[in-house]
Amino acid sequence: MILMFLQNQFGFMPGRPTIEVIYLLRDLMEKYRENEENLHLIFIDLKKAYDKVPREVLWRVLEKKRVNNSYIQVIKNIYGAVTCDQTQGALAKHFPIAVGLHQGSALSPNLFALVLDVLTRHLQEDVPWCMIFVDDVLLVDKTREGVESKLELWRSTLESKDFHLSGSKTEYMECNFSSNKSSEGFVTLSDQVIIKYCMLRYLRSIVHSDGKIDGDIISRIQIDWLKWRNASGLLCDRKYHSNLRKNSIRWW
């Protein structure tokens, strides 16, 4: 069974590693820096994304994606559990769970990606102006007003299906590559001002508003050096069998 996603989804897609999103973003930033044109970026964070997926929406999405009925039934069986409350040592009446995906399940990211693909298909612009890694959404525009308008469309669409954006964790970055003064305006989400960052971590990489990659390189060197220091005691100890050291190197 092959499920078709729009090209905007990079999460757990064969042949589309995480680094591809970073490369596409940096390539766009480099081009606009050379042309001295500004970019505005919004990094959307969804509140408890997996916990907010209504089961009925999930079933309709699977049907719309033309998933085989036998597969849908298997998934329904997996999610067919019930629960109950315990009060003063007694169990209350059982009730079905009608919302949420299983945390830690290898199937959950794919199910969520399917739901997000169907609900926001009409909002997803061409790559790299809109890129998604499972539930991490990146919106890009040439103006602050433009990216704020996109953010509002995503908010209204997702909230209509009981998904909510986190105003405290959604992030904004202005890449002022022109000779003009930085914008004094701000981006809001439901009347909450989104914090503007000059540097932030995105998909395990460091993104700078000036488009440079020095900070990311330094960060990666420090992380790898720390890993080496933690493992060097074992790797360099002659008391350990050589096969054990080889396995440790392979794991590292």
pLDDT of residue 18: 87
Rounded Cα distance between 137 and 1, Å, is 26
Q: What is the mean pLDDT of each run of 10 residues along the chain (252 residues)?
A: 81 87 96 96 93 91 93 89 59 70 89 94 96 95 96 95 91 92 84 94 94 89 81 66 57 50
pLDDT of residue 189: 94
Burial of 161 (0-12, 13-18, 19+ CB in 10 A): middle
Q: Say if CB 26 and CB 147 are below 8 A apart.
A: no
- State both tokens at 4: 């078709």
Beta bridge partners of 197: none
- State both tokens at 205: 């990489």
For the entire predicted model, the pTM comes to 0.83
Rounded Cα distance between 30 and 24, Å, is 10
pLDDT of residue 249: 53
pLDDT of residue 74: 93
pLDDT of residue 10: 94
